[in-house]
Amino acid sequence: MYDKFKDITGFDLEDYYTRFIDFINNKSQSIIDYYSGLLPTLDRNSFAEYESLLEESGQVIDLFDLNMERFKTVDFWQLMEFADDIRIKLETIGNFSKYARSSVSKESFVSEVSVETPIRASETIEELMSRYGSTDRDNDWVNVAISNSLIQEDYNSEGGAILKLNFKNNSRFFINSVVDNPEGEKIKGKDVDNYLQFVNEDLKILGYEDTLQQSINTLMELKKNDNPEFPQFGVDPSLIIGKTFKSIAIPSVVRQIYQTFSTDDVIKEIQIVDTEFSQDAVIMSLSIAIKSGEAQIKSLSIGN
């Protein structure tokens, strides 16, 4: 069968399959370990073989498509299915850095999360590092200034300069809900639009910012028992509806809000900055801080 394929296409499929099996058995794990941060340097030979096989995987699929009318037996289609499985496997290995939530740039592993944040008015870089939890701000600010090629004219008492900060990819920044390299906007993740619709013959996928807004809105609108899998999450409207001002259990409502938002680890923290009461609702102003470094104010109405 391999000889027939070679006669038709001129491609040595048997050698390709043999090299792939050898790569999986002897070389692929070093790439996975590197993307996972378990190895300090990349095995260049393994990576070169990976790139070669990945390039050939597309060529093999194209050969099957171009010569489909000449493949008359089931055996050829079984070979094509195997070739497609190989391509998927190789692409999965290439995307492993996303599954490991590691930052990869030009084949270099960085076990850090990158975020961009503005300097506040009258804020020094040392104070900025303290705001982001630095335990050695007197030294860390130097690394930030150097990595951002920062000069004194780039920032002043008015603030506003955007700096890129790197943090160790520990539990504080590791985001289970996002399968991607944790860099800048990517921290917000991507998701399918709640209102299922097709764009270019595929499901509509939201961008990073739209995904974040959809996630926040979903959490804000969630009521207790709305999610049959996790009925305990969400706000219980009965704590508000039909209650007098004095009988509203505000502490319970606040606790339920915090509990609900804690289910999304893209959100760094949430604070209730203002509360208003109307005849049939409680309106809360929420300050929501995101792990990408930004914060936004949202209005949550409960009861109406």
Domain ranges of the chain: 2-100, 108-174, 218-302
Nearest to 113 by CA among 128, 96, 100, 126: 100
Phi, psi of 295, deg, nearest 5? -140, 155
Q: Phi/psi zone of residue 260: left (φ > 0), alpha (ψ -120 to 50 degrees), beta? A: alpha
Nearest to 132 by CA among 150, 148, 119, 149: 119
| d(C-alpha 43, C-alpha 40), whole Å | 10
The CATH code for residues 218-302 is: 3.10.450.40
Q: What is the pTM of this model?
A: 0.53
| d(C-alpha 189, C-alpha 181), whole Å | 10
pLDDT in tens, the chain (304 residues): 778 888 888 889 899 999 999 999 999 988 888 877 677 777 888 888 999 999 999 999 998 888 888 877 788 888 888 899 999 999 888 877 776 666 554 444 444 556 667 777 777 788 877 776 666 777 777 777 777 777 666 666 666 677 777 655 444 445 666 766 666 677 788 888 888 888 888 888 888 889 889 999 999 888 888 888 888 888 888 877 766 666 677 788 888 888 888 888 788 888 888 888 877 778 888 998 887 777 889 988 877 6
Please report where in the chains the tokens 């260049």 appear, as a residue: 44
Residues 6 or more apart from 198 whose CB is under 8 A from it?
204
